[in-house]
Amino acid sequence: MEIPSKLLEEVVEHFASLPGIGRKTALRLALNLLQKDEGSLERFGESLKSLKSRINYCTVCHNISETEMCSICSNSKRDKSTICVVEDLRDVIAIESTQQYFGTYHVLGGCISPIDGIGPDQLTISQLEKRVASGGIKEIILALTSTMEGDTTSFYLYKKLDSDELQITSLARGVPIGNELEFTDEITLGRSLLQRVPYKNNFSNNT
Amino acid sequence: MEIPSKLLEEVVEHFASLPGIGRKTALRLALNLLQKDEGSLERFGESLKSLKSRINYCTVCHNISETEMCSICSNSKRDKSTICVVEDLRDVIAIESTQQYFGTYHVLGGCISPIDGIGPDQLTISQLEKRVASGGIKEIILALTSTMEGDTTSFYLYKKLDSDELQITSLARGVPIGNELEFTDEITLGRSLLQRVPYKNNFSNNT
């Protein structure tokens, strides 16, 4: 049976176009919206309509920001010589929550993915090159997910940026803390054996 | 770290107010929307804004419908003497997809839930009573989920509608087809023992 309303069908299709939401969930969400008061729906719709045109990005790191320069880039206590390259805002939030990183970021806005039509030009890669070329950068930390797209992007950036003055590092890969060995995939476990570290390093945060 | 944009925060909060969507998923959805083209966001926002005011309901069964009377209520081949009482459109779609039901529906719009401030007056219960009072109804099938709210609503309807002329039935409860006994909860398994059926009934759809 089809959804007996074109408008509802439209809302369902919009929800279903979001990642991780199928048609059944989309219908559940749309019907839930019908229970809400009209004012709340009005505000939801209005904020969606203006989302893309009204959102601003930091001119330095390209993270979402209300101000021209975000709170991290304008913080004089942050180490400006280290740039951590991430995909989007969520990664910045995740790394900030560790309270172990005091450098700055560069938000790419995605990963190179030819299948989705995303090439280097759709990302903020040229802006990163400019930041590096302007000098004062000592280390680039590539903190992209290790999927096909993430690894491709990391390798592309490495090829573009590699020079004697610049240290290019990537996140340590290994068995997550608390995970049991038997449930760790063989690639991760294999790499954590190859890249094993002196035991006493575990006692310190700065090794 | 907070979300560094009020507008994005607003969109995240709207998404997070939907059932089954937490703040992390909401942020993922909102960031995904930023990748879409502006026209698509415009249409999504517009359809949400007009959703509640522009949606129409069937005057008979109160299901969502573009026309005054929905396609089921206006279908002369459907058995008008049987009404299946359901919570919302999703249940109608689920029952229609079985191709085993040829009566009509009555969509309550929810279940009685004092904790959410939903009493009988917020549902289409009085309209159901009117349909029954207008005559010609032989059977009411209560097809609500067997949660606390669903059971309360079923019992309330039973007390309201019970009469000698009207047969009130509910869906059969039992072990789902294909399920293993060891994984079936004890209440369902217990009831399926108490309400066991003659084995030969399984060979026919109309017993």
Rama region for B167: left / alpha / beta (φ>0; ψ in -120 to 50; rest): beta
Query: In chain A, how many domains are there?
Result: 3
Pairing of strands B79-86, A167-170: unpaired
What confidence category does residue B205 fall into, taking pLDDT thresholds of 50, 70 and 90? low
User: Is B178 or A103 the better-scoring residue by pLDDT?
Assistant: A103
Do A148 and A95 belong together in one domain?
A: yes
**Which of A7, A48, A63 is closest, CB to CB, to B4?**
A63
Rounded to whole angstroms, the Cα distance separating B143 from A86 reads: 50
Do B124 and B33 belong together in one domain?
A: no
Q: Is there a domain that residue A92 lies in?
A: yes
Residue reference for tokens 């759709």: A122
Task: Give B11's contacts in chain A (Cβ within 8 Å).
Answer: 44, 47-48, 51
Q: Is there a domain that residue A119 lies in?
A: yes
Range of the domain at A131: 79-171
Final residue in a domain of this structure, among A16, A38, A54: A54
Query: Shortest Cα distance from B71 to chain A (angstroms)?
Result: 8
Closest CA to B87 of B49, B113, B53, B114: B113
For B16-43, write each residue's pLDDT tens digit: 999 999 999 999 999 999 988 899 999 9
pLDDT at B207 (0 to 100): 44
Do A135 and A199 belong together in one domain?
A: no
Q: Is there a domain that residue B68 lies in?
A: no
Given an 8 Å threshold on Cβ–Cβ distance, is B51 in contact with A34?
Answer: yes
Given an 8 Å threshold on Cβ–Cβ distance, is B30 in contact with A47?
Answer: no
For A123-154, write each residue's pLDDT tens digit: 999 999 999 999 899 999 999 998 999 999 99
Do A119 and A179 belong together in one domain?
A: no
pLDDT at A202 (0 to 100): 77
Do B26 and B95 belong together in one domain?
A: no
Domain at B44, CATH number: 1.10.8.420
Rounded to whole angstroms, the Cα distance separating B74 from B65 reads: 11
Q: Is there a domain that residue A62 lies in?
A: no
Question: CA-CA distances (angstroms) from residue A127 to A55, A142, B34?
Answer: 19, 15, 20
Domain at A116, CATH number: 3.40.1360.10
Do A165 and A93 belong together in one domain?
A: yes
User: Is B205 or B66 the better-scoring residue by pLDDT?
Assistant: B66
For A164-186, write each residue's pLDDT tens digit: 999 999 998 888 888 888 888 98
Phi and psi torsions of B126, nearest 5°: -65, -35
The amino acid present at A165, given as its one-letter code, is: E
Do A167 and A87 belong together in one domain?
A: yes
Per the confidence metrics, is the pTM higher than 0.90? no
Given an 8 Å threshold on Cβ–Cβ distance, is A8 in contact with B64?
Answer: yes
Cβ proximity of A70 and A63 under 8 Å: yes
Residues 6+ positions from B148 with CB-CB distance below 8 Å: none
Given an 8 Å threshold on Cβ–Cβ distance, is A4 in contact with B36?
Answer: no
Q: Is there a domain that residue A27 lies in?
A: yes
What confidence category does residue B148 fall into, taking pLDDT thresholds of 50, 70 and 90? very high
Partners of A85 in the β-ladder: A106, A142
What confidence category does residue A205 fall into, taking pLDDT thresholds of 50, 70 and 90? low
- Average pLDDT estimate for B4-20: 94
Do B101 and B195 belong together in one domain?
A: yes
The strand order across the sheet containing A79-86 reads A103-107, A79-86, A139-142, A167-170
C-alpha triplet B130, B133, B137: angle, nearest 5°? 105
Q: Is there a domain that residue A38 lies in?
A: yes
| Burial category of A142 from C-beta neighbours within 10 Å (exposed 0-12, middle 13-18, buried 19 and up) | buried
Do A128 and A149 belong together in one domain?
A: yes
Q: Residue B206: pLDDT above 70? A: no
Do A83 and A165 belong together in one domain?
A: yes
Phi and psi torsions of B136, nearest 5°: 85, 0
Q: Is there a domain that residue A100 lies in?
A: yes
Q: Residue A207: pLDDT above 50? A: no
Q: Residue A79: pLDDT above 90? A: yes
Q: Is there a domain that residue A150 lies in?
A: yes
Please state which of the ranges A7-11, A105-109, B190-194 shows the lowest mean pLDDT.
B190-194
Task: Give B12's contacts in chain A (Cβ within 8 Å).
Answer: none
Do B124 and B166 belong together in one domain?
A: yes
Do A162 and A192 belong together in one domain?
A: no
Task: Look over chain B and give the mean of its residue pLDDT values, rounded to a whole number.
Answer: 92
